Amino acid sequence: MVTKFDIDCLVITLEFLQDSPTSLFSCALVNRTWCKNALPILWRNPWHDSIIDAIDPIRRRRLLISKYIATLPSPSKSILIKNKINLPPPIINPIFDYSAFIRYLNLDALKLSIKSWIYDSNSPKEFHGVVCPQITVVARELLLYFLKKSPSILCIEAKYGNDLLEILLDILNSFPDSKLKFNDLRELICHGALKVIPTFFSKLSIISRTIQRLIIDPYQDIEHLATLIKSQKNLKEITIGHSYTSPFSTSSREAVLSALSNSRSITLLKIKYMYFPLIHLANLVNLEELSLQGFGKREVMNEIWEPLLSISMLKLKKLFISSLFTNANLEIFSKFIQKSPKLQELTIRSSRISDPENSKLLLLSISQSCRNLVKFEGPIMDQNVNELSQLLYSCPNLSFLYLHPSTEYYFMQDQMDFDNLLKEITRIQPARLDLLKIARGWKFSGELIGKFLESRKQLGKQICLYWSQSISTTESLDKIVKKYYDEGVFIHYNRNKYEDVETYLNQSISKH
């Protein structure tokens, strides 16, 4: 006999597989009990990238819509028929009503899926010439049914178009009961430039107070965003991106910044390509991840970093700084790091460094304060061998090391010598080092790379190795790389394509 305790344990186990549709589908085939508990999780977010068949995504999208339309009530089907939309064969006594499982509304994926369903995938010319009214009719009937059957919507995603978001707004205004389905909304991802966004934000500020994750990218001049942030009781993660090509009002920005600084529950803050006075960080005492991407302002130079000197972030685990317009100040960064003892990931990127000689101070600060560091990407000088040694000994969990030459101007013509640093890494051989990435601006000996790889072979430790194509070497690396690749020393290597590295980093860091 299956007890409630058994089912509760099964559900908890299945929840761990929510990002593995293949595994969930296999679990659904075990027996009726497993099927009954696995399918709601599998169909919770049918638009997830891992669910769409990469070999034939159009077919997968068409099948999704067919299943949903087959279970629509008769009045909805009549509306589709009146609009000359062919219906799939009827399903007699369907076992499950898949619409009741939906918790995620990805409006962009829904629109694309409807488009794929209306037009045969074998007729690409017709596919790209879809008649918008038909998409609108199908989308409205499906959204109405989703909101009727689903007990709650946990996530909304809308990035590329106004039309389906307008339909959703119309439903919220026309059917009061539909508002209740957003009382437990936890995640909102949207394109802040959509025309309908201000009205949508205003509506959500009233009906949704439980948003925990908010991504608005790009963000434009939307005063309603501040109201939305203030209305949330437990906002934890927020990403705001801005395009410099769009207009931006100072008053609107200040309202948003004020709302952010008073959201003390925030644990993750990502600012992308917009100016953010760092003094506003002072109240974010629970922040665990801070990302400043493309950060800076032409009119404000080194003083932009000065607020960091008076701010302590005792819970901060991840710090990402990419300075676009403002010189990086390593002295200020070093002092800030000393007050962030829980850092596990540290990234500092900048094309200009105002005090490159302070890379020594930066490395020492890391060694003294960040014993749990897993990933380090940042500047170093060729003469900082002792400081690198201290960092490697002091941070035994270090898995990822990406070193930039510390210089006033990153795109310098003269290259720094990486050989002594490479010798030290080879001598110490950090036990958990998985990836070594050497940025442009260095030169090194192919012979030393061979010694480094040989030591990894002797230790039985595989490595990912990446270096810029612009790096000068004294010998050809082709034979050395091929030799150790054939001997299984490499997990992966690449000479210039760094986009693969980021994917590997994200996957591997999550395992630690």
**What is the pLDDT confidence band of residue 221, given thresholds at 50, 70 and 90?**
low
Distance between CA atoms of 380 and 297, rounded to whole angstroms?
25
Cα 22 off chain centre by: 23
Looking at residue 250, what is its pLDDT?
A: 60
H helices, E strands: number in the chain: 19, 17
> What percent of the chain has pLDDT above 90?
45
Looking at residue 180, what is its pLDDT?
A: 94
**Helix (H), strand (E), coil (C) string for 461-486:** CCEEEEECCCCEECCCCHHHHHHHHH
Looking at residue 292, what is its pLDDT?
A: 93
328-359 pLDDT, tens digit each: 999 999 999 999 999 999 999 988 899 999 99
> CA angle 357-359-360, nearest 5°?
90
Average pLDDT over every residue of 50-77: 80
367-382 pLDDT, tens digit each: 999 999 999 999 999 9
467-500 pLDDT, tens digit each: 877 676 666 777 888 889 889 898 877 655 444 4
pLDDT at 504 exceeding the cut of 60: no
pLDDT at 465 exceeding the cut of 50: yes
Looking at residue 445, what is its pLDDT?
A: 85
Mean pLDDT, all residues of the chain: 84
Average pLDDT over every residue of 498-505: 45
122-160 pLDDT, tens digit each: 344 444 444 578 889 999 999 999 999 999 999 999 988
Q: Which of 316, 348, 313 is closest to 331 using CA atoms?
A: 348
> CA angle 26-27-32, nearest 5°?
120
Q: Specify whether the CB–CB gap between 344 and 401 falls below 8 A.
A: no
Give 484-498 as a DSSP string. HHHTT-EEEEESS--
Tell me, what amino acid is at 397?
Answer: N
Q: What are the helix (H) ranges across 83-184? A: 107-118, 124-128, 132-149, 163-174
> CA angle 501-348-280, nearest 5°?
125
What does pTM read for this prediction? 0.86
Residues in CB range of 386: below 8 A, 6 or more apart: none
pLDDT at 24 exceeding the cut of 70: yes
Three-state SS for 192?
A: coil
Which of residues 31 and 209 earns the better pLDDT score? 209
Residues in the chain: 512
Q: How far apart are the first and last CA of the chain?
A: 39
Q: Residue 30, exposed/middle/buried by CB under 10 A (0-12, 13-18, 19+)?
A: exposed
Q: Residue 110, exposed/middle/buried by CB under 10 A (0-12, 13-18, 19+)?
A: buried
174-202 pLDDT, tens digit each: 999 999 999 999 999 998 778 888 899 99
pLDDT at 83 exceeding the cut of 60: yes
All structural domains of the chain with their residue ranges: 1-42, 49-184, 415-512
Provide the token pair at 25.
Answer: 């589908």
Q: Specify whether the CB–CB gap between 99 and 69 falls below 8 A.
A: no
